[in-house]
Amino acid sequence: MSLLRTRGLSRHFGGLIAVEGVDFDLEEGEVRALIGPNGAGKSTLVGMISGRIPPSRGTIEFDGVEITSWPAHKRIMAGMSYTFQITSVFPGLPVRENVALAARRRVPQGEVTQAVEAALARVGLGERIDQEAGDLSYGHQRLLEIAMGLVQRPRLLILDEPTQGLAEGEVAQFKALIRDLAGATTILLIEHNMQVVMEVADRVSVLNFGEMLAQGTPEEIRANAEVQAAYLGGGDAAA
Amino acid sequence: MSGAGRIWGLHLGLIAVLFALQFLLPAYHHGNLARIMVLASYAVGYNILFGYTGLLSLGHALFFAAGMYGMGLGIQHGGLSPAPALVLGIGAGAVVSLALGLLALRTSGVAFMIVTLMFAQAGYLTILYFGEYTRGDEGFVIQSAQRVLWGIDLSEPSNRYFAALVLFAACLLLSLWLIRRPFGRTLIAIRENEERVRMLGYDTQAHKLGAMVISGTISAAAGAFYGLLFGYAGASFGAVPHSILPLLYVLLGGAGTILGPFMGALFMFYLIDLSSGVTTAHMLIAGVALVLLTLFAPQGIMGELRRRAFGWLP
């Protein structure tokens, strides 16, 4: 059974069609990349899935339960986790407290400290645990975002452009992390870096002008002529 | 943890100092400090919503007045003794803050300020409208004979000081405890970035409502004690300037610091007290002091201390 299922999911902003009639299925345990040119509706689609943006039409099911009208916090409690595209940590709070805030929602009280330290160690920020988050470099703030997602032990981890602004070494570390999580956690990844997509994704979905253009394995997507025309061959290709 | 010991030590130490001052201060300052402690309790309540949760209310006089009139009318017209009258006042504050929270928290930012201001104004006009019971602007005196709590005459200065200290200590320690708990830390996170908190799985609306009720109830407790200790309830305590007062205290003392409300109330009270001895334009001096503080210590007294030297201050 699919962990996540959307049917006819649409979002219009006034006259602008951001997402139109998207049917999307995500199997338990897979790593799925969501790609598409800028403005294709990727962030709007995951915004609707995570509950940040109410859909204009359509339904969302998570783990067999319809959640279309659920508020975001209830979806997180049900096992989704969402990391922001634009870094959105708490700059005035210590790194530890940033992750603890995420942990306290999903981890039993006695295990919070341990879970926080483990999540930070996993993204390589173990030594910066007592720094203020605002003092971290941009790349480290991105990693902190990911740690805040990880610590919630989500069933579905949604990552919105996680490698944006990361240094090369950090990207390699990120890829290793995703491979490490694969299987245990279902991951939905919006990503511009095609090298990352090709290396870590089991399957790839391509959005274009708010509609699902193609879905398949990385090889199939790479070979798909429509996708090449819309995206890979366009001026937008990041690879 | 030594950090927790230091924090509790500091705050319990302040309470001990205030206790000792009771025996040392001359009568005039003794009376002032009792009043300051009650006003500081009001500001402690305000600080939970404004300083820690980041919601700027312009209507806290409504809660203060709910406490004051809940208590005062209970004694005056309900024939209650002080203990149940205090409970009635504090309960009235809880109900009013819950109701206002449910309505006002549908808005945010400037709209929230205006909605709270308008409801407080409506509360003030309600006090005037029912002048038959409340005596409107003129207010009513609660006689000494009606202010005997468990055999203790609260109109007697040292009893009054001690009662004010009990209230202040309770409010201060409650706020310190609250802010160190996960609930309080979530409020701070809401102040920093509400959308992020929501996307971490928190019902931010429920947290803000909780903060509003706690804040309003503490403010109401201050109002109820104020009326009981100083023997008077009047409509001016529900008017707009009385909503601005805790905001000024908290800004001066340091928003989002536990000791800020007390420091702000102390500073402001004596600033006005001393300057009114020099000139009738004492609010002008208070205004200049505010401008200077905003320019050179925008985080308030305790906020500045925390920034410069004592990073561990809660």
CB pairs < 8 Å spanning A and B? 51
What are the Cα distances from residue B263, in Å, to A173, A205, B14, B64, B116? 49, 59, 11, 20, 25
Q: Chain A contacts of B299, Cβ < 8 Å?
A: none
Q: Has residue B77 got a pLDDT over 90?
A: no
A87-138 residue pLDDT tens? 788 988 899 999 999 999 888 888 999 999 999 988 888 889 888 988 988 8
Kindly report the average pLDDT of chain B as a whole number.
90
Q: From CA B78, how far away is CA B94, in angstroms rounded? A: 20
Burial of residue A134 (number of CB atoms within 10 Å: 0-12, 13-18, 19+): middle
Q: From CA B312, how far away is CA B309, in angstroms rounded? A: 9
Inter-chain contact A152–B202, Cβ cutoff 8 Å?
no
Q: Has residue A149 got a pLDDT over 60?
A: yes
Domain membership flag for residue A51: no
Domain membership flag for residue A35: no
Q: Which of A73, A96, A116, A159 to mutate to test the interface with B (most CBs of B within 10 A)?
A: A73
pLDDT grade, residue B2 (50/70/90)? low
Q: Has residue B166 got a pLDDT over 80?
A: yes
Minimum mean pLDDT range among A224-228, B19-23, B165-169: A224-228
Tokens representing B18 are 């205030």
Q: Looking at residue A151, what DSSP letter applies?
A: T
Q: From CA B18, how far away is CA B225, in angstroms rounded? A: 18
Q: Has residue A154 got a pLDDT over 70?
A: yes
Q: From CA B13, how far away is CA A42, in angstroms rounded? A: 56
Q: Chain B contacts of A101, Cβ < 8 Å?
A: 185-186, 189, 197, 200
Q: Has residue B144 got a pLDDT over 80?
A: no
Q: Has residue B4 got a pLDDT over 80?
A: yes
Inter-chain contact B200–A84, Cβ cutoff 8 Å?
no
Number of independent structural domains in chain B:
1
Q: Has residue A23 got a pLDDT over 80?
A: yes
Domain membership flag for residue A25: no
Minimum mean pLDDT range among A114-123, B63-72, B202-211: A114-123
Q: What are the CB-based long-range contacts (under 8 Å, 24+) for B272-279?
A: B273/B32
Among the partner residues A82, A93, A106, nearest to B199 by beta-carbon distance: A82
Q: What is the extent of the structural domain holding A142?
A: 90-152
B20-29 residue pLDDT tens? 888 888 888 8
Kindly report the average pLDDT of chain A as a whole number.
87
Residue A233: per-residue pLDDT: 55
Nearest CA among A128, A202, A123, A222 for reference residue A163 = A123
pLDDT grade, residue B176 (50/70/90)? very high
Residue A237: per-residue pLDDT: 42
What share of chain B in percent tops pLDDT 90?
Answer: 54
pLDDT grade, residue A239 (50/70/90)? very low
Q: In this prediction, does ipTM exceed 0.90? A: no
Among the partner residues A52, A90, A106, nearest to B192 by beta-carbon distance: A90
What are residue B60's phi and psi, to 5 degrees? -70, -15
Residue A187: per-residue pLDDT: 93
Residue B188: per-residue pLDDT: 93
Residue A238: per-residue pLDDT: 42
B84-138 residue pLDDT tens? 999 999 999 999 999 999 999 999 889 999 999 999 999 999 998 888 888 888 8
SS3 B175: helix
Domain membership flag for residue A128: yes
Residue B203: per-residue pLDDT: 93
How many CB atoms sit inside 10 A of residue B298's CB? Answer: 12
Q: What is the extent of the structural domain holding B231?
A: 14-237
pLDDT grade, residue B228 (50/70/90)? very high
What share of chain A in percent tops pLDDT 90?
Answer: 42
Residues facing residue A212 across a β-bridge: A207
pLDDT grade, residue A227 (50/70/90)? confident
Q: Which of A53, A90, A95, A156 to mutate to test the interface with B (most CBs of B within 10 A)?
A: A90
Domain membership flag for residue A7: no
Residue A7: per-residue pLDDT: 93
Residue A168: per-residue pLDDT: 87
B130's CB contacts (< 8 A; 6+ apart) are none
**Residues A216-227: what's their mean pLDDT?**
85
Q: From CA B178, how far away is CA B314, in angstroms rounded? A: 11
Number of independent structural domains in chain A:
1
Q: From CA A236, how far away is CA A209, in angstroms rounded? A: 14
Q: Has residue B69 got a pLDDT over 90?
A: yes
Q: From CA B216, how far away is CA B220, in angstroms rounded? A: 6
Domain membership flag for residue B242: no
**Residues A7-14: what's their mean pLDDT?**
91
Higher-pLDDT residue of B275 and A186 is: A186
Domain membership flag for residue B133: yes
Q: Which of B195, B200, B202 to mutate to test the interface with A (most CBs of A within 10 A)?
A: B200
Nearest residue in A to B187, CA atom: A101
SS3 B148: strand
Tokens representing A187 are 């991951």
Residue B313: per-residue pLDDT: 80
Q: Chain A contacts of B196, Cβ < 8 Å?
A: 84, 88-90
Minimum mean pLDDT range among B35-44, B147-156, B195-204, B237-246: B147-156
